[in-house]
Amino acid sequence: MHAIEFYSGIGGLHLALKRCSTPARVVRAFDWDQAACQVYEANHGGKLVNKTDISTLKAPDLTSLKADIWLLSPSCQPYTVLNPQAKGAADPRAKSFLHLIENVLPSLVPLAQHPRYILIENVAGFETSMTRQLLLSVLKQQGYNVIELLLTPLQFGIPNSRLRYYCLAKLSPLVFSNTDGHSDSVWRHIPGQGNDWLDPRLGVSHEVVMDSVDRIQNYIDSDLTDPEAFAIPDRVLQKWGRLFDIVTPSSHRTCCFTRGYTQLVGRAGSILQVNRDLETETVFNTFLNSKTKGSENPVDILRPLQLRYFTPTELLRLFYFLSPRCHQEYAIDTAPSFSWPTGMTNKTKYRLIGNSVNVKIVTELLNYLFL
């Protein structure tokens, strides 16, 4: 089967399709971000990805590709709770996705060139938007059966909290399995696979996950050659240190990593305390007392914690572009690798990873979609 990848980023959807159990390949990818296209080319070749304003695409641009599958991860900024100015469908960044759904897809139907399968990923919050209502209306008008899900990597044993919305669609008469007639609900697990994940923000006191969650130590670099390059700057620790979500290698959870990681403090992602022998709160209380007394260089008290940012490679493992170090999911000669273009800064790498999908979750969803 042939797939088109819209908002291709650094190729997470491509990688998930390659890893799923159904033979399929990406025949064209579209993205507007120059750096993302460079990374995509470095990992998947230079002839697949087009640096294109997706809002300018028309049906004739796609018919020759004869795509069976559409994979889409449109901008989340119009829908995220982290953006107080989020405007949903009225946001200019929603324009291209609305164009694909309202104009391009219906134009392909009379030509019998519309995809049989569609997968869409976005931020949690999309499910309450007007864009989602429009999306469902168009898909059903064009003869698609649809299922929606809210899933987090924690359900798949990955120590990262990153709740995301997924919409799967398949052209009738194809139907989804194991839904028991409840395909109109927003599912909290893949039908037929495990149990719901319950968000403590919704008033429950615990999370229910499918399997035990890995420790972070399986995802971090064992031979980091220059740890100082990822150390938290003293000025940041001095002013904002208490706002960080701090985890240790033995932790089973990290917070959601966003495109602003290392540039923002709150709600941008966890930092790592390498020294697990010290109690974080005790050390910080000592630091705060010293700071209150006006002591000289109180930040020195925090140094033994060995606080640092996660490296781009570690985030690639958490996002499952790379396999965790302890997992033997691939033979040595097929173990996944990942390349960055020469000269790309860590700031750009973090931005691109923060905009990406979790490859493992999308792989499992594609396996379910193709049942």
Give me the catalytic one of 76, 167, 255, 326.
76
Buried b / exposed e along 187-214 (16+ C-beta atoms within 10 A): bbbbbeeeeebeeeeeeeeebebbeebb
**Facing residues of 31 across strands?**
51
Q: How far apart are CA 127 and CA 10, in angstroms?
A: 25
Tokens of 187: 């599912």
Task: Tell me the residue type at 288.
Answer: L
- Is the CB of residue 368 less than 8 Å from the CB of residue 190? yes
Contacts of 328 (CB under 8 A, 6+ apart): none
Is 76 one of the catalytic residues?
Answer: yes
Closest of 38, 39, 28, 36 to residue 5, by C-alpha: 28
Tokens of 93: 């960044």
**Which backbone phi and psi does 265 adopt, to 5 degrees?**
-100, -60
Helix, strand and coil content of the chain, in percent to the nearest 5, comes to 35, 15, 50
Q: How far apart are CA 172 and CA 157, in angstroms?
A: 33
Q: How many CB atoms lie within 10 A of CB 149?
A: 20
Give the orientation angle of helix 359-369 with respect to helix 12-19, to 10 degrees.
50
What residues act catalytically?
76
